[in-house]
Structure 1
Amino acid sequence: MSEGIQVSIICITYNHEKFISNMLDSVLSQNVNFEYEILIHDDASKDRTQDIIKDYTQKYPNIIKPILQKENQFSKGINPNITYNYPRIQGKYVAYCEGDDYWSDKNKLQLQYDAMEQNKQCAICVHKTQCVSISNEKLSREFPPIELNEGVISSREYITMELQKVGWLFQTSSYFIRADVVKEYTSNYVNKYPVGDLPLVLFSLQKGSCYYIPKKMSCYRVDSGGAMSSLKSRKKKIAHFNKMIAGHKDFDELTSYKYHDDFLFAILSSEFEINLVKKNYKILISSLYRDVLRKMNIKRKLIIYLGVLCPTVADYIEEKKNGWTE
């Protein structure tokens, strides 16, 4: 058995009273031959989340290490992980599980730990993730959305799949990253993205390749009040994608344009989404967005062409689907 804490598990919570016990139980039930810690940051939940965390901390004081805020930090523009969780990391590796998600395989941590110990060239390890509903029903969606073989995925292959082919390759609950990479990311990278998981992965892939385990070992709870589910305002969604464009441009420059074609496609994809929200249907079928449109599913293509021919009907369908607020 390795001495000292080997894995630091990062968990952020906010109003997760319905899910936090399930998450903690799934982590505490892991079969491992090493020590680990659970670093929790609760961002001033208004429900019983903090009380539940306190109960678990009393039972597992050497494992669970919470920070329970009285004032919401995210609303002040503070990133809870970078400011509060990452500086506390003691492990050799970092794993992730947000308060409304959970791990579904008791051997997850050990399998990822062993994979990284055996593949020193890898900076990150990932696996399959099942999407579930708020009521814990299995959904048809899973990560990755394409079939991949077990083994090493090169940085270039990963980035191309992420930015050009699928849009969201692996879910955060599957991430297992070398701690020195996370610490370097915290110290040296200023994130311009409106999200935290994508730049962390992109940064990690500059330090090594990725190891993939084709086994479902975590569950991601869809529509439980996460960041993307709050983008019901047209203005907020446009602002989100403008920030995505800024992040892509910044990382393209940071990597000396090594993956320029991938980032260019990602930028065009974000512009496409902005124009869709703005109802600029005609520009979406122009040559500028030909490659982006080609990779859209048939339903989205039909909406766009309908928008060109009969914008009133397309607008109505989009309003119903997205539940837009101005």
Structure 2
Amino acid sequence: MTPAPRSAAPHEGEPDLITIVCLSFNTRDYIARCFDSLMAQQTDYRLQIVVHDDASSDGSQEVIRAYADRFPDIFTPVLQPANRWSQGFCPLQACAPHIRGAFVAICEVDDYWTESDKLQQQVEYLVGSGRNFVGTQCQSITPNESLGPAFPKADGAGPVTIIPGSHIFAMRKYIHTSTFAMRRSLFDKWAAAFTRQVVSADLTILLTACLVDDGLAMQNRVTSRYRIHEGGAWTGSTRAQRYARYAITWQIILESLGAELPARYLRQARSNLAYFEILSREGRPAVLAELAKRGPMPVIQVGWNMLARRLLGN
């Protein structure tokens, strides 16, 4: 399978290469479905697929090499001999030096795309609107192949929803990584700011995008599936351990973006950090002691935002 070109040429003066960044770790059984969905894109633009594998032990690298051998002009494998995540390194960062495209999309290899014109429509929107970021809607898929509802919900019946940046910072809206498309300049801005490992690289990309676009654009169409896994280090961790990791992430966000954040975003980021630090304490007495020290407002504010996200289906 090779990418299917469309008949029209890219806009005059616009670079004609899109880079798709893929992250792999012990997902051998899903790689072919992901790569085939990327190669099925019908686009005016040439494709580069940068694949980072973080020292998988299940044969994932052999499958990646096979695709790179078949399509050497498209695939750029970045295969680690030792696991970098366990060393505190963000795998997405390792892809940055290999990106050649003027536009960047992301799809982890256990996810896949469902629409062959996903990239074409997104890049046309970025070029026509002058924006730096656009996402789409997504659906989850469980191990038994059951599909979840489309998210985020569209705000209206038009083709595009503009999500306020305040909703992203308040964690009331979330756009899934598999739907991201952005200008290279935005990806480079993120890569320069976040040189340390964070729990959610996707969250930090969204927050960085909020600083360069007035609200985040989302095309109101489902273009991808993200796979829900059972087990694993994240699902096997305790609630307090997860909150602690998110607290570290928000601390890094404040350190990396704090100087650029408008006051309303800065207040929300600090509230988020306090919320996760309070709830990361092990045991009820420790949580109550932290609440007594900080006050309940961060828990009330952030808890309400997260409840609203659930109630609104976002």
Shorter-chain TM-score tier = 0.7 to 0.9
Matches within 5 A, 1:84-233: 85-120=95-130, 122-140=131-149, 142-144=150-152, 146-149=153-156, 150-151=159-160, 153=162, 157-158=164-165, 160-164=166-170, 166=172, 169-191=174-196, 193-209=198-214, 210-223=216-229, 228-230=234-236, 232-233=237-238
The TM-score normalised by the length of structure 2 is: 0.81
SS state at 2:42 partner:
coil
- How many pairs were matched up? 289
Pair 272,170 (structure 1): closer, same or farther in 2 beyond 3 Å: farther
The TM-score normalised by the length of structure 1 is: 0.78
Given that 1:191 and 1:199 are in contact with CA atoms closer than 8 Å, whether structure 2 keeps it comes out as no
Q: Which amino acid aligns with 2:27?
A: H
CA distance in 2, matches of 1:165, 1:234: 18
4+ runs of 1 displaced by more than 6 Å?
Answer: 283-286
List runs of 5+ in structure 2 lacking aligned partners: 1-8
Give a deviation string over 1:176-211, Cα, whole Å, max 9, x none. 010022123323554574321122221222222432
Q: Which amino acid aligns with 1:104?
A: T
Give a deviation string over 1:136-184, Cα, whole Å, max 9, x none. 32134x431x432443626xx12x2123252x51000011010022123
- Structure 1 vs Structure 2: percent identity of aligned residues? 23
CA distance in 2, matches of 1:229, 1:5: 40
CA distance in 1, matches of 2:306, 2:83: 38
CA distance in 2, matches of 1:95, 1:26: 13
Pair 91,259 (structure 1): closer, same or farther in 2 beyond 3 Å: same
Q: Which amino acid aligns with 1:213?
A: Q
Give a deviation string over 1:33-53, Cα, whole Å, max 9, x none. 110110001111111211211
Q: Which amino acid aligns with 2:107?
A: C
1:81 aligns with 2:92: yes
CA distance in 1, matches of 2:161, 2:33: 31
Find the counterpart in structure 2 of residue 309 from structure 1.
Answer: none
CA distance in 2, matches of 1:125, 1:62: 26
CA distance in 2, matches of 1:259, 1:54: 43
Pair 224,107 (structure 1): closer, same or farther in 2 beyond 3 Å: farther
CA distance in 1, matches of 2:263, 2:197: 17
List runs of 5+ in structure 1 lacking aligned partners: 301-326
Given that 1:241 and 1:273 are in contact with CA atoms closer than 8 Å, whether structure 2 keeps it comes out as no
CA distance in 1, matches of 2:230, 2:113: 16
